[in-house]
Amino acid sequence: MGETLDNIFASYVNQGPLEEAAAWMANLTRNHPELAEEFIAALQKGIVAASKGDAAVIKAVNAGGHQVATATEAGEHCLKLLGFYSKLLRK
């Protein structure tokens, strides 16, 4: 399937709270464990890209309905989503 940052924000966040998106992603991962690596890798790549000022991360986050103006803000969204998702996976 190959989850990308764009897909994650447009499909799972889709204007909702990051906590809800993380719960949806975690529930999906329980049925499809192979998705964990894809979700985590995409979010980590987004965090790294945002730290380098990559505007593609802004576009990805905004595709999910969260309007951010800077790569720093976009990276923070990726980090928060990764944190919520990781916490739910450990439960």
What pLDDT shows up at residue 2? Answer: 54
Mean pLDDT within 20-34: 95
CA distances from 56 to 5, 19, 24, 47, 59 (A): 9, 22, 24, 11, 5
Q: Evaluate if residue 1 carries a pLDDT over 60.
A: no
pLDDT above 70 as % of the chain? 98
What phi, psi does 17 have (nearest 5°)? Answer: -65, 150
Mean pLDDT within 55-68: 94
Residue 31: band (very low, low, confident or very high) from pLDDT cuts 50, 70, 90: very high
- The tokens of 50 are what? 């945002």
CA distance 66 to 35: 23
CB atoms within 10 A of CB 6: 17
